[in-house]
């Protein structure tokens, strides 16, 4: 017979394996500004200005935390139940792979009446008023759970796993998500791996990926806003060439007509998103030059569009 004393270490290990991590839903972007270049969040008029959130009851800052590790930050819209943007510091793809099956999680702290469990697994999910849950995406033929901060950008397995929270997801047309958008993600990942090298000879780039909500009537399951457009921007410093690099991409959330998304400048993106919008404010990120202007061989080096 096994003694109780012998079972105690196993019991402790089991408790540790299921112990929840404290949720990191905070009131200010300053509480998780390490994911922004120069610790400065985007400026989005009437949503996020000077690091301050308009409408604290609607827009929530989530310091995405998995296994006691902060991995990226999301500004979440509890009315539309999709993120405004997710932002992260890219450090390269060091280890790990996309988890299978995908561990879809939620942030119960967005709903005050729910328990404070960080990134609760899908089998614990109920109907939450302020966020999407797994069943919102079930039984549809058109939409993927489209990542903003992609799993492929994660530095290690913890960071990759952490992207599978429904607070980092929008309904995205499958052929857009798996086609032109995926090609863009892989192009920019390659660019950052090759050219975003800091003064310590380490890979370092900053990404901000967002979604433009559509009108109130365009919803999934009459709950989740289906964004009309997705956008992405990155900026970094190349210490070897002593250059700041930046580019932007966006595309309509429809079946794509073209094979690739055109590479645009930050200035172009700011005009597209609206007056006074700035993705990397108060930084040296070039506004009117793309990385394709600086490096002419990106098509062959990173399979990027010309």
Between the alpha carbon of residue 305 and those of residues 96, 185, 186, 292, the distances in Å are 28, 12, 11, 9
Tell me how many domains the chain contains.
Answer: 1
Query: Each residue of 230-254: pLDDT tens digit?
Result: 999 999 999 999 999 999 999 999 9
- pTM, rounded to two decimals: 0.89
Any bridge partners for residue 165, and if so which?
Answer: 105
**CATH number for position 111:** 3.40.570.10
- Asked whether the beta carbons of 186 and 150 are under 8 A apart, the reply is no
User: Which pLDDT band holds residue 124 (cuts at 50, 70, 90)?
Assistant: low
- Residue 126 lies inside a defined structural domain of this protein: yes
Looking only at the bridges linking them, the beta strands covering 52-53 and 48-49 are antiparallel
Query: Each residue of 51-100: pLDDT tens digit?
Result: 999 988 899 999 999 999 999 999 999 999 999 999 999 999 999 999 98
- Residue 222 lies inside a defined structural domain of this protein: yes
- Residue 242 lies inside a defined structural domain of this protein: yes
- Residue 116 lies inside a defined structural domain of this protein: yes
DSSP letters for 247-296? EEEEEESS--SSSSPPPB-HHHHHHHH-TT-BSSTTS---SS--HHHH-T
Query: Each residue of 4-47: pLDDT tens digit?
Result: 344 334 333 333 333 333 447 887 898 999 999 999 999 999 99
Cα–chain center distance at 304 = 21
- Residue 129: give the domain boundaries: 29-302
């Amino acid at each position: 017979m096994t003694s109780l004393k012998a079972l105690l270490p196993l019991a402790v290990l089991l408790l540790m394996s299921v112990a929840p991590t404290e949720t990191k839903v905070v009131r200010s972007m300053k509480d998780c500004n390490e994911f922004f270049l120069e610790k400065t969040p985007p400026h989005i008029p009437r949503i996020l200005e000077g690091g301050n959130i308009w409408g604290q009851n609607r827009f929530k800052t989530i310091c995405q935390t998995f296994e006691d590790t902060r991995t990226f930050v999301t500004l979440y819209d509890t009315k539309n139940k999709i993120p405004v943007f997710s932002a992260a510091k890219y450090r390269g793809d060091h280890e790990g792979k996309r988890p299978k099956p995908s561990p879809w999680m939620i942030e119960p702290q967005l709903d005050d009446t729910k328990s404070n469990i960080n990134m609760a697994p899908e089998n614990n999910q109920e109907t939450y008023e302020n966020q999407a849950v797994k069943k919102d995406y079930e039984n549809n033929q058109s939409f993927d759970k489209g990542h903003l901060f992609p799993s492929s950008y994660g530095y290690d397995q913890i960071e990759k796993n952490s992207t599978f929270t429904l607070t980092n997801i929008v309904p995205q047309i499958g052929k857009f998500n798996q086609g032109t958008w995926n090609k863009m993600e892989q192009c920019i990942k390659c660019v950052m791996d090759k050219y975003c090298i800091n003064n310590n000879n380490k890979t370092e780039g900053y990404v901000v990926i967002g979604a433009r909500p559509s009108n109130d009537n365009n919803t999934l399951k009459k709950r989740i806003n289906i964004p009309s457009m997705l956008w992405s921007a990155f900026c970094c410093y190349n210490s070897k060439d002593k250059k700041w690099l930046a580019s932007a991409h966006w595309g309509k959330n429809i079946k794509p007509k073209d094979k690739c998304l055109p590479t645009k400048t930050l200035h172009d993106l700011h005009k597209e998103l609206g007056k006074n919008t700035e993705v990397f404010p108060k930084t040296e990120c070039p506004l009117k030059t793309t990385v394709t202007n600086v490096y002419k061989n990106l098509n062959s080096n990173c399979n990027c569009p010309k």
